[in-house]
Amino acid sequence: MEELVSYLARALVDDPDAVRVERTERDDAVLLRLHVAKDDLGKVIGKQGRVVRALRTLVRAGGSKRGERTLLEIAE
């Protein structure tokens, strides 16, 4: 799942080298934290949050297919 989020984020931003995804496991969920360059935050979030909402939907669907609760967070 980290590779998918990283691939999609790299396609959206101007500085693909700054994209990094951290995976943290909690008791009941897997948290993916997406790091991008400060100038690219708006591109990842999108107008009215549509892009990040779509990314979160993909992450949740992929996680549920594997039987785990997966969350996506954008780090600042």
Task: For 34, list phi and psi in degrees, rounded to 5.
Answer: -95, 125
Question: Is pLDDT above 90 for 3?
Answer: yes
Domain limits for position 49: 2-75
CATH at 25: 3.30.300.20
20-56 confidence digits (pLDDT tens): 999 999 888 999 999 999 999 999 999 999 999 999 9
10-22 confidence digits (pLDDT tens): 999 999 999 999 9
Question: Is pLDDT above 90 for 5?
Answer: yes
Res 27: pLDDT: 85
Q: pLDDT averaged over the chain?
A: 94
Q: How many domains does the chain have?
A: 1
DSSP code of 13? -
* Furthest C-alpha separation in the chain: 35
Cα separation, 1 vs 15, whole angstroms: 21
